[in-house]
Amino acid sequence: MKPTPCPSCQQTMTKHRFERLLHGEVILDMCFSCQGIWFDEFESVQITPGGIVDLFKLLHEHHDDQRIPLRDPLKCPRCNEKLLHGLDVAKHGGQFNYHRCLQKHGRFTTFAQFMIEKGFVRQLNPAEIDELSAKVGIIRCMGCGAPVDIRKDHACGHCRAPITILEPSAVEQALSRYQHAEVRRTTRDVEALGDAIVMREREKSRQKRLKQEPENAGIIDAIDLLAAGAEFVWTLIKR
Ligand SMILES: [Zn+2]
Ligand SMILES: [Zn+2]
Ligand SMILES: [Zn+2]
């Protein structure tokens, strides 16, 4: 099978097998540094609930991978032409974007945009943003990756994308559409997610202290709500 250079960083993407909904399996190319997936076919692939659980497992395993910003322009891994920006509306609401090859070689989408496309993400209302901002200050925009200080802004200052989270109950709904694994219900998603992020960050700085790494005093990393949400969903669905 042909290696696929990442449309952004040009490193070879890793291949992962996922169960396809009607029959067989599909192999997708992923880059965890760029947080993106390359689809050789243009159409959105229908992955089974088992495949979606596998995807969350991968996000969980690569939670601490180094992230790099996407390059502009992105290049098609097959013909090296510039990828074109596309915008679409998800079946269950919400806009998502992707980058496609004009020669129909395929499309590149970020994990965050894929989650929106699959209906796993929902927009936070102002009260929920306030609640989350008591625990988490700066997050990374799911649309463009720019840092957003949610204590001040309720949308991304760069791309105007609203503040969204991966919602366990939305993941549950998507999975149960196919009568599959139950995700434990939580009525206090935002509070629980905020707590999970605080715990995780505390654990990270404890590990750093143990390893005697410098703490980068004063520099606050933007919290990736997608990665944190994927981690949170993973703790709910793993058995
Ligand atoms: Zn990459
Ligand atoms: Zn191409
Ligand atoms: Zn943005």
Indicate which ligand has the atom closest to the C-alpha of 33: 1
Each residue's pLDDT expressed in tens, for the chain with a length of 239 residues: 789 999 999 999 999 998 887 778 888 999 999 999 999 875 566 777 778 878 888 888 888 888 888 898 999 999 999 999 988 887 777 788 899 999 999 999 999 888 888 888 888 889 999 998 988 889 888 877 788 999 999 999 988 888 888 877 777 776 665 444 444 444 455 666 677 777 777 777 777 777 766 555 444 467 777 777 777 777 776 64
Indicate which ligand has the atom closest to the C-alpha of 9: 1
Half-sphere exposure of residue 176, counting CA atoms within 13 Å on the CB side? 11
Indicate which ligand has the atom closest to the C-alpha of 155: 3
CA-nearest of 113, 118, 146 to 36 is 113
Indicate which ligand has the atom closest to the C-alpha of 7: 1
Our measurement of the distance from residue 215's CA atom to the centroid of its chain's CA atoms, rounded to an integer in Å, reads 26
Q: How far is the CA of 22 from the centre of ligand 3 (A)?
A: 35
Asked if 101 contacts 75 with a C-beta cutoff of 8 angstroms, the reply is no
Domain residue ranges of the chain, discontinuous segments joined by +: 14-110, 121-237
pLDDT tens digit sequence for 84-96: 998 888 777 778 8
Q: Where are the alpha helices (DSSP H) in 107-167?
A: 111-117, 126-133
Q: How far is the CA of 161 from the centre of ligand 3 (A)?
A: 5
Backbone angles phi, psi at 59, to 5 degrees: -60, -40
Q: How far is the CA of 132 from the centre of ligand 3 (A)?
A: 18
Residue 87's pLDDT is what? Answer: 87
Q: How far is the CA of 136 from the centre of ligand 3 (A)?
A: 17
Indicate which ligand has the atom closest to the C-alpha of 69: 1
pLDDT tens digit sequence for 138-179: 988 887 778 899 999 999 998 888 888 887 777 777 666 544
Backbone angles phi, psi at 205, to 5 degrees: -75, -25
Q: How far is CA 175 from CA 38, 76, 97, in A?
A: 23, 32, 23
**Which pair of structure tokens corresponds to residue 34?**
């760029």
Residue 42's pLDDT is what? Answer: 59
CB neighbourhood size of 119 (10 A): 18
